[in-house]
């Protein structure tokens, strides 16, 4: 009974610590960013970040600084987040045991594979804004590697869907972004390889993500391929991807007579997680045994239309708290139109990344494992209450009550990530220009405007800009 008392106390502490889920308490960060209340948001993160959410606190802090244009402060926080994420990616055994008697929020948040991959993307973008080409190149190179490594760790020991896991490792946007940064930093061969990988990934994922091959990608391949003498490689790519659109000559992009302005536009929000509750039956015929196998069997009872076999009674209803994903994909469509009056030129953006759909893909691939783990947790609690009840009826009732009350879904995620990223490009002769930018809603209506002044265009070079719209 002494062990039981200690366990009850621990569970009570967890429960009394609060029932509100992470997403419910932290969604206000989105309002703060939209209203440009950056310091208020930083204060909230500092106050509300507990020891198990240190990584999320660093990610949100870094994103707030990024949105405020504080590139160096943002990169300092992102660097700390990257180091901590790497350290946490091997789950602590003691934390894992604690979560079985309470809930998954007892475990330090580790970041999912997509979140980890977006850290070097934003670090690269910060370095682009600081004009540090070499540092940006290093970060752009890391993003795809971290994504593949994280997916492999997440599904180690057998994916719930091996095909889905493979799809998660492939990210056309990160490859395309890397290609642009490589070319900007003078690594033409690396740029060509990244552009090629992007083309294949966009082609493979077009139906799954609904993001077409960027209209400039064929030009980028032709421009870099010609510099390297890769005519055969270009022909092979065009044969493999019929609508890639590699031009025969005069590709768009930087040349000896012009430079290219590229504006990344981020909009909307990634889907966030909320809590939902399932009640799942333990049958009179259940014999226990291996918890994982038992939980996998019980999970089948969550499906629609399940009924207990004839003559079999329901012994107990397990209460299981699970995360559910709401919002997205493309919850808030985005777009932009750039006009350059001095040059008589303009262009409209194209969506190059749908983070909303990609987040859903990751959630769906991980969900069977989350469901099974949550059922295991509920079974452990129920078994503890049954053991206590055999010793003392009142103790059994108390343990069961505390087990139910401590049930809580892990809804933690990086809430301030955008839902999508678009790109607009304009080729211009060397000189200085003012860009008139109109931000558009889903119907093509202008929702905001700004002028980006004194844009320096250099022949043969890129001028990169990024904006977040709300």
Confidence of residue 433 (pLDDT cuts 50, 70, 90): very high
Q: By percentage, how much of the chain surpasses pLDDT 90?
A: 63
Domain boundaries along the sequence of the chain: 2-169+252-278+319-469, 170-214+217-251
* CATH T-level assignment (fold) for domain 170-214+217-251: 1.25.40
Burial class (CB in 10 A: 0-12, 13-18, 19+), 138: middle
Q: What is the pLDDT of residue 93?
A: 45
Higher-confidence residue: 155 or 56? 56
402: tokens are: 């505390």
Q: What is the pLDDT of residue 90?
A: 65
Of 52-61, 180-189, 365-374, the range with the lowest mean pLDDT is 365-374
CB 107 within 8 A of CB 92: yes
Beta partners for residue 468, in sequence order:
266
Tens digit of each residue's pLDDT (9 = 90 or more) over 83-136: 999 998 766 544 454 455 557 778 899 999 999 999 999 999 999 999 999 999
Half-sphere exposure of 358 (CA within 13 A, CB side): 31
User: Which helix (DSSP H) or strand (DSSP E) does residue 118 occupy?
Assistant: helix 113-130
Beta partners for residue 376, in sequence order:
none
Stretch 13-32: mean pLDDT? 76
Q: What is the pLDDT of residue 418?
A: 94
């Amino acid at each position: 009974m002494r062990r039981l008392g200690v366990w009850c106390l621990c569970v009570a502490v967890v429960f009394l610590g609060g029932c509100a889920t992470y997403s419910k308490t932290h969604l206000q960060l989105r309002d703060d960013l939209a209203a440009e209340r950056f310091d208020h948001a930083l204060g909230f993160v500092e106050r509300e970040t507990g020891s198990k959410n240190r990584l999320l606190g660093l990610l949100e802090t870094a994103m707030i600084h990024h949105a405020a244009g504080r590139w160096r402060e943002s990169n300092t926080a992102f660097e700390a987040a990257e180091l901590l994420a790497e350290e946490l990616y091997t789950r602590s055994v003691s934390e894992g045991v604690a979560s079985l008697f309470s809930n998954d929020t007892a475990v330090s948040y580790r970041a999912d594979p997509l979140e980890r991959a977006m850290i070097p993307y934003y670090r690269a973008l910060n370095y682009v804004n600081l004009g540090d080409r070499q540092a940006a190149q290093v970060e752009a190179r890391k993003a795809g590697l971290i994504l593949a490594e994280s997916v492999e760790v997440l599904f180690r020991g057998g994916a719930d869907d091996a095909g889905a896991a493979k799809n998660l490792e492939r990210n056309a946007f990160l490859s395309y972004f890397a290609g642009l940064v490589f070319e900007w930093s003078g690594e033409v061969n690396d740029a060509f390889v990244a552009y090629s990988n992007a083309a294949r990934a966009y082609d493979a994922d077009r139906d799954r993500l609904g993001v077409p091959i960027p209209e400039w990608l064929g030009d980028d391949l032709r421009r870099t391929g010609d510099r390297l003498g890769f005519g055969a490689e270009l022909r092979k790519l065009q044969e493999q991807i019929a609508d890639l659109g590699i031009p025969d000559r005069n590709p768009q992009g930087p040349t000896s007579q012009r430079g290219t302005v590229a504006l990344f536009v981020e909009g909307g929000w990634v889907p966030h997680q909320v809590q939902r509750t399932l009640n799942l039956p333990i049958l009179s015929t259940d014999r226990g045994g291996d918890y994982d196998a038992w939980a996998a069997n019980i999970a089948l009872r969550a499906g629609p239309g399940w009924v207990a076999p004839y003559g079999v009674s329901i012994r107990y209803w397990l209460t299981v708290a699970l995360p559910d994903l709401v919002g997205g994909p493309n919850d808030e469509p985005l777009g932009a139109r750039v006009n350059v009056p001095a040059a008589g030129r303009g262009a409209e953006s194209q969506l190059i990344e749908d983070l909303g759909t990609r987040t859903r893909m990751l959630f769906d691939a991980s969900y069977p494992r989350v469901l099974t783990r949550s059922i295991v947790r509920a079974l452990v609690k129920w078994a503890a209450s049954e053991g206590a009840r055999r010793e003392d009826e009142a103790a059994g009732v108390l343990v069961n009550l505390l087990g139910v009350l401590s049930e809580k879904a892990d809804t933690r995620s990086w809430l301030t990530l955008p839902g999508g990223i678009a790109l607009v490009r304009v080729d211009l002769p060397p000189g200085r220009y003012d860009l008139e930018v109109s931000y558009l809603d889903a119907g093509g209506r202008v929702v905001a405007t700004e002028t980006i002044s004194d844009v320096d265009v250099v022949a043969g070079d890129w001028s990169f800009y990024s904006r977040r719209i709300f």
